[in-house]
Structure 1
Amino acid sequence: MRRVAALSVTAALALTATGCLSSGDDGGGGSDTVTVWTSVDQPVSDGLEKAVKAKADADGIKIDWQRVENINQLIMTKIQANDAPDIAMIPQPGVVADIVRRGAAYPLDDVVDMSALQSSMVPGTLDAGTVDGKLYGLLISMNIKSLVWYNKPAWEKAGYTAPESIDQLNALTDQMKKDGNTPWCMGIESDTATGWPATDWFEELIMKYGGPDVYNQWVTHEIPFDSDVVRQAAKEFEELMFTEGNVLGGQKAISSTNFGTAGNPMFEDPPKCWMYKQGSFITGFFPDSTTSDLDTNVGVFGFPWATEDQKPVLGGGDLGVLMSDSDNAKKVMGYLSETDIGNDAAPNSSFISPHKDFDMSLYPNEITRQVADVGYNATTFLFDGSDQMPGEVGAGSFWKEMTAWISGQQDLDTTLKNIDNSWPS
């Protein structure tokens, strides 16, 4: 999850960069040393570092691997000071684009094997880091957001099966309620980032109803919030989340229920709610009694499609950006593009490879394999929309206005107009 980190992006992007691209000898500890920055979770970082260093050792390259906090903001100050790392793993495409605009990144088209990547990687993942027709950000680790979680033993006992369309999802919601159950767990409270889980819902539904092209036009505000496709998404969200009896605690509880614990009532006996839409990271928030045996206790399915021919998946991840033109930095960027770079990270962390030909037996459990499979079977991977929008919208008005609407403080018309009006000219 990159939501809290996103809060600092707006301030970071306001900086005026005066620096230039680093050479192979600047900021990298000498020509034989390549500095790599990342903010991924420690277990993922440790695994990737181990794999990179093993490859680098064979080529006589030293690696200075650093895990840093607030990388989106810190990288901008380092660009300004002409002290950027050789490679940075950036969690937001919008920040990658800003680095490119500042002249602080090198294109990767001649650094990595583009033909191999186009056949290996999930469709759409290369698009996430493409700026002005050139690849500047290579997705190295991937997370999936198009997921619905449930209590596996309880579902099996009740005879529920995963829906394959939004219509089937609505029918399942109604069936659960008829059975005397509360279908949905839901919470959008997240301290100063309250509201972001609602933006994920909207991104999901806009993507599914409109398809990739419409989604991307909406993300860049070519299609406004006050538009038919957004209203269609809002209508579906209202039907699932605002209908009496559909959500634990009712509509008014959503904005005050923390996203991290909102799904935990699923694992009570009997479950107090039966489905929770959240990203692949959420298992880390489930109760210890549940995570002690994820494969036995937890089920997951991909958020269903609106049409059979459009099966996009929503996600995020970390994009490798080359900020030095040294030969060694280019070699390390090449390592990071290889399918096996995640072999040491996968067994011991939440790492999911964006390569469809990754050895899935390396994932630590069946749940992770199922999550990865949702990504690998998608027709297109689309990066989290709010992470691509200007900071004042994606990490500002979008969160705030969704919260006001869901909590009943204002109507949908006001909400959509307010977000549109907040978009920078």
Structure 2
Amino acid sequence: MRGRTALLTCLALSAMGLSACGGGGDSKGDSKTVTIWSSIDQPVQDGLKKSLVAKLTADGSDIKINWQKVENINQLIITKIQAGDAPDIALVPQPGVVQQMNKLGAIKPLDDTLDMTALKASMVPGSLDAGTVDNKLLGLLVSANVKGLVFYPKKAFEAAGYQAPTDIAGLEKLTEQIKSDGETPWCMGIESDTATGWPATDWFETLIMKYHGVDAYNKWVKHDLPFDSDEVKQAADEFSKLLFTKGNTLGGQKAIASTNFGTAGTPMFDAKGPKCWLYNQGSFITGFFPKAVTKDLDANVGVFGFPAVTAGGDNPVEGGGDMLTMLNDSDNVKTVVKAMATTDIGNDAAAGSSFISPHKDFDVSHYPNALTKQVAQVAYDSTAFLFDGSDQMPAEVGTGSFWKEMTAWISGQQDIDKALKNIDSSWPSS
């Protein structure tokens, strides 16, 4: 979610021993020390730092790494840039923040520092686009997450003879097959406290990119394609067909808005047998599954990527992650940036965290289990990796009206036409 007040940011920094509203680190003046800020999960940060330090040491470098985990980097980095006190490198999770940093003149292009030919060959298709502004690479994806993943109770799924579909028509058939067997196909919940509604936005983003491809998706994200368009309405139709049809979703349509996204998938693993069988979510959701399930993910959980419209056809995937931005282009900082752009920088992070490498040539043997390998492979096999659309939209829409109007529609308070028109009306004029 986007931001807290500057006061809370300062208090959070004070609690971590950083200069609350002043310096980003005492080592800033030491040319041999490179300061990095991020808000990524601690195990991911620790793994990346371990690999980075090992690389620098192996190369005979005497560069020291001061890597600090900070709260809400999206807001903090802008505040610090405006105060003239930014770190050397910042890992930010939203393309919009990269663009803000660029408008402030604080960010350095990576094109001249990195081997772009090698990078393009290594990275998942499309993953460089989110950090590219005016044909310059300003943000490099280092740690990724994958969305549009359909999880299922592996043992029961296989015992029932179900197969992962290869196209959307096959997903519809699987839904009907499960229901004809007397079961409830879908788990679904969009409740998330003040962020209620966001899981529905992920569904729309996935459906729009699957049906209409990269260009239409990017136009929609920029509002060059309005919400009240045939393309978005088609996504709404498929969403309602899969989830609103009687008997398709646990608790029915009305239960979706009041069911918490974190526990919505739990009924798949009920001791008496699955109460629902399919749950479309992001790669992080396994952390919300019951402990008895997560003790052996490979045995208990299956996954497939939300399928393409046509088997073997265009198949973009939604995701996100943390992008490296360079705010100081000294030689030492460039050395660190080059090291962090390598495929094997994630070797240590992958082994003990939720880390997914955005490099399609990453050695998947470093992932801790088969399920993580499958999740990564969904991204590696995609035709394009597209960043979460709502995270790229203005806050008034992406974390405002889009959430609100989806919730109102799903809960039956208004029809989809009204919801989509309301979102269009909320888009800021500038």
- What amino acid maps onto 1:342 in structure 2? G
Write the letter of the residue equivalent to 1:55: K
Q: Is the 8 A contact 2:51 2:348 kept in 1?
A: yes
Query: C-alpha deviations, 1:134-171, integer Å up to 9, x for none?
Result: 00000001111020000000001111000111111011
Letter matched to residue 211 of structure 1: G
Secondary structure of 2:268's match?
Answer: helix
Partner of 2:273: 270
C-alpha distance in structure 2 between counterparts of 1:382 and 1:51, whole Å: 27
Across the two proteins, how many residue pairs are aligned to each other? 409
Distance 1:375 1:110 in 2: 27
Q: Which residue of 1 aligns with 2:329?
A: 325
Q: CA deviation at 1:7?
A: 5.0
Gaps of 5+ in 1: 13-24
Cross-structure match for 2:356 = 352
Q: For each residue in 1:316-355, what CA deviation from the matched residue of structure 2 results, as whole angstroms up to 9, or x when unmatched?
A: 0100000012111111111110001001100101101011
Task: Report the TM-score, using the length of structure 1 for normalisation.
Answer: 0.94
Please show how residues 138-287 of structure 1 align to structure 2 within 5 Å. 138-268=140-270, 269-287=272-290
Q: Secondary structure at the match of 1:192?
A: helix
Look up the SS of the partner of 1:106 in the other structure: coil
Per-residue CA shift, 1:264-305, capped at 9, x if unaligned? 000012100000000000000000000010000000001000
**Are residues 262 and 423 of structure 1, via their aligned partners in 2, closer, same or farther at CA, if it must alter by over 3 Å?**
same
What's the offset of the Cα at 1:28? 2.5
1:203 CA drift (Å): 0.1
**2-structure distance, mates of 1:211, 1:401:** 24
Residue 416 (structure 1) aligns with:
420
For residues 198-250 of structure 1, the C-alpha deviation after alignment (integer angstroms, 9 at most, x for no partner) is 00000000000110010000000000000010000000001011111111011
Partner of 1:393: 397
Per the alignment, residue 31 of structure 1 pairs with 31
The yes-or-no answer on 1:288 pairing with 2:291 is yes
Query: What SS does structure 2 have at the residue aligned with 1:316?
Result: strand
1:304 and 2:307 equivalent? yes
CA distance in 2, matches of 1:168, 1:30: 59
Q: CA deviation at 1:27?
A: 7.1
- 2:383 maps to 379
1:40 aligns with 2:40: yes
CA contact (8 A) 2:38 2:70 kept: yes
Moved runs in structure 1, 4+ residues, more than 6 A?
9-12
1:338 equivalent in structure 2: 342
What is the CA deviation profile of residues 369-420 of structure 1, one whole-angstrom value per residue up to 9, with x for unaligned ones?
0001000001111111011111111111111111111011111111001110
Structure 2: gaps (5+ residues): 9-24
Q: Which residue of 1 aligns with 2:127?
A: 125
TM-score, length-normalised on structure 2?
A: 0.93
Q: Alignment partner of 1:266: what SS?
A: helix
Counterparts of 2:411 and 2:279, CA distance in 1: 19
Among the aligned pairs, what percent are the same residue? 67
**Measured at CA, do residues 83 and 7 of structure 1 come closer, stay the same or move farther in structure 2, by a change above 3 Å?**
closer
- CA–CA separation in structure 2 for the residues paired with 1:129 and 1:333: 15
Q: In 2, Cα distance between the equivalents of 1:136 and 1:26?
A: 26
